Structure 1
Amino acid sequence: MRVPGADLSTEEQATGRIALLAKALALSNKEDMSASPKKLIDFAALNLLRYPAKHAKDLRAWDASDEYLAEFIRADAPALLINDAFGALHCAVGVNAFHINDSWCSRHAIEINSQQSFTPYSGQALAYGLVKLPKSLSLFEAQLQEAARYLSAPLTLYFSGMQKHVSSGHLDIIKSYCDEVEYLPTQRKARMYTARLRPGQQTATPYLQAVPELSLTLHNMPGVFAGQKIDIGSRFFIEHFDRLPSAETVADVGCGNGLLSLAYHRLHPKAELHLFDESLAAVESAQLSFAANFPDASRQIQHCDGLSDAVANGQTFDLILINPPFHQQNTVTTDIALSMFAQARQCMAATSELWIVANRHLNYQAALKKNFRQIELIAQNAKFVIIKAKR
């Protein structure tokens, strides 16, 4: 069966999406937006792309909560979009979209799918906002604080997420920062709230976490992975750091709060460290953690998709460390990990080493054997494996 748009380039597909959107939005201009809301966009017709490129055929770039939120779009009115995952909402809203979004991958997907620039929200005039409820409650609270800081009057927001991922904690946070909270009927397992966000001046602050066995204090911004506890995979990895080579250049891919790089620096203080994460909260956490613990360490910390910038610049590293995620928001996927491994191979010389800690049930060894000539199991326990790979 032919997949619509499969023989078109990404740019051609995006052009087709824009034409469909223009037609839909032109029709919506004729609607009275004060009347009952109507869904403006058929997302299935737009051939929206996930980023990184999807591997499981059942993963889409939108869900029922995007479709529910799209019913409340106001034609030609400027909108705040919080956590637009792959640009479905941006495509529906158009050029009047302003974003609060932690994810570099989401930002990139928005630009790919809309062929428009990602514009962060920084106080632009708004008529309303659409919010995809994130997995992290601390991130959600910080995002409402960020939005509220710019407001001079209450702003109507619509909040949605798939029912199985929406908790009472989300509603508690909405009630803490909003008035006139109303629950709307669930549609196709997508929950919906509407409320008025109050102006406010609260700012997100890091959670300080002591790691006495390493004489470190981590600074974890809201939303960073393992924000109030040490990730057990990283802890297991660090227990075997005495087996790592002494490298001149080290890449820490998906660095989170910087724990792996901090631990490596303690053992090898002369190493040049390069930290990468697609989460802005992670980048900020790593920056704060290094400033507090090793302010003079040689380091670069970047907000990007894994090693994508390093690949583009032709960089190589002596040692690459990866503790890969297997979730993208609430979706279980190995897409990000496989993308990291492919990028790592392009950033390795003949003598470089890639070290990975991962959940053992994911069986990454099979995928690694396709692209690396030497795979070695360094250590394992009931939950994790540590793998070394060479080109």
Structure 2
Amino acid sequence: MKTQLTLHDHQFTLHRYPKRGNETLQAWDAGDEYVINYITEHSVVPHGSKILILNDSFGALSCWFSLHYEVYLQTDSFISQKGALQNLQLNKCNEVTVLGSTDPIPNDIDLVIMQIPKGNRFLTWQLQQLKHNLKPKTPLIAVNKANAIHTSTLNLFEKHFAKPHTSLAWKKHRLVFSQQVSAETSPVEQTTTWAVPEHDMTLSNLANVYSGESLDLGARFILDHLPSGSHYKNIIDLGCGNGVLSIKLGRNNHLSNITCVDESFMAVASARLNVHANIECPDRYTFVANNCLDGFAANSHDLVVCNPPFHQQNAVTDHIAWQMFTDAYKVLEKNGTLLVIGNSHLGYNNKLSRLFGRDKVNVKAKNGKFMIISAEKG
């Protein structure tokens, strides 16, 4: 696995975050190289210009463009942000201004570079923000794998920003070129709101929250199997998303302190909104953007509930689920419980048996697609 990015007589050492000894994935891809090559070879904007970089995976673009430009980095990912900051420090790069995903964009940006996000809702949100904040004729160069740039993707650029054109494919990646064409003054709606009447909830989701317009099937299934009772003192909703499980846990366990954890800043913000809208006493909730349970004290909680993702950005991987399980094992007190929901084919019960012991792992419920698994710390 390469850690040295060398282009145009410059070299950077780049690592994914968190850094793992057996890492098999690079901290950059050919799309990053394509953007760097194009802007360098075509002198798109003069040195010293202000560049806004959206969705930089682990800081490769931020490191490179900080050499000659004033860089602003905006990402919704805590993990991407930490990775970028560590790589910037490791390579002794010039200072970069880091923005949260809901922070306003400076209105004097000269060039926008975007790694096109996976979800169209988030892409639409970002294009609307650019249209609302940028000066006219500000160029945008976006990149993604060629097979992920669909007609619907280009239609979003045309609808919310300007009619785009694309480059030739290079190493299976393609560039999308567009620009701000007019000043936009109308406000942009920040959230999508919808009801879950069977659980007496109303949920508001920011743009980059998973399953942002309806309750996903996994959450719908586990809601009816969440534990009840006042004997749980400290509960973690790990990978909380919009906070729907946290709300149900709070209603089922009136004396519990509940911590909502997610690596998406928008997810944590949505969870906070929804808890305050649906819970009578939200003071017993804490909201944390984090890499799993980094920094949480060992043996400090008696219940962790999680619905693990199986991808990081565009890479399919199970290391996040394994980190969630190992972090939960560390944080749980003796006889504490980890409750997991996942697709049945992922085999989480076997993974949990390796960690907790086979006699401590039980399938609590299952249907045709999902399995809810309980693991007790002995």
- Give TM-score, length-normalised by structure 2: 0.85
CA distance in 1, matches of 2:362, 2:257: 25
Are 2:222 and 2:341, in contact at CA under 8 Å, matched by a contact in 1? yes
Aligned to 1:185, the other structure's residue is in SS state: coil
The more displaced of 245-254 and 211-220 is 245-254
The more displaced of 248-257 and 110-119 is 110-119
Distance change >3 Å, CA 367–CA 101, structure 1 → 2: same
Q: Provide the residue aligned with 1:10 in structure 2.
A: none
Q: Provide the residue aligned with 1:207 in structure 2.
A: 192
Aligned to 1:179, the other structure's residue is in SS state: coil
Give the partner amino acid of 1:200.
Answer: E
Are 2:30 and 2:173, in contact at CA under 8 Å, matched by a contact in 1? yes
Deviation at 1:279, TM superposition (A): 0.7
Show the 5 A alignment for 1:1-391: 40=8, 46-53=12-19, 58-71=24-37, 72-73=39-40, 75-94=47-66, 96-115=70-89, 119-120=98-99, 122-123=105-106, 125-179=108-162, 181-198=164-181, 199-201=183-185, 202-242=187-227, 246-297=231-282, 298-311=284-297, 316-373=300-357, 374-391=360-377
Q: Which runs of 5+ in 2 are unaligned?
A: none
- Give TM-score, length-normalised by structure 1: 0.83
Deviation at 1:4, TM superposition (A): 7.4
Give the partner amino acid of 1:350.
Answer: K
Q: Deviations over 1:223-282 (max 9, x none)?
A: 210111211111111121257884111100100000111111222222211001111121
The more displaced of 240-249 and 364-373 is 240-249
Query: Deviating runs (4+, > 6 A) in structure 1?
Result: none
Are 1:365 and 1:375, in contact at CA under 8 Å, matched by a contact in 2? yes
Q: Deviations over 1:109-134 (max 9, x none)?
A: 10122216662274174321211011
Instruction: Quote the RMSD (CA, aligned, Å).
Output: 2.6
Distance change >3 Å, CA 245–CA 383, structure 1 → 2: farther
CA distance in 1, matches of 2:310, 2:237: 17
CA distance in 2, matches of 1:245, 1:324: 26
Give the partner amino acid of 1:99.
Answer: L
Aligned to 1:187, the other structure's residue is in SS state: coil
CA distance in 2, matches of 1:109, 1:174: 28
CA distance in 2, matches of 1:315, 1:137: 40
Deviation at 1:54, TM superposition (A): 5.8
Deviation at 1:315, TM superposition (A): 7.1
CA distance in 2, matches of 1:55, 1:226: 33
Residue correspondences, number: 355
Q: Deviations over 1:68-101 (max 9, x none)?
A: 1112155443311011111111121126321221
Q: Which runs of 5+ in 1 are unaligned?
A: 6-16, 25-38
CA distance in 2, matches of 1:241, 1:185: 51
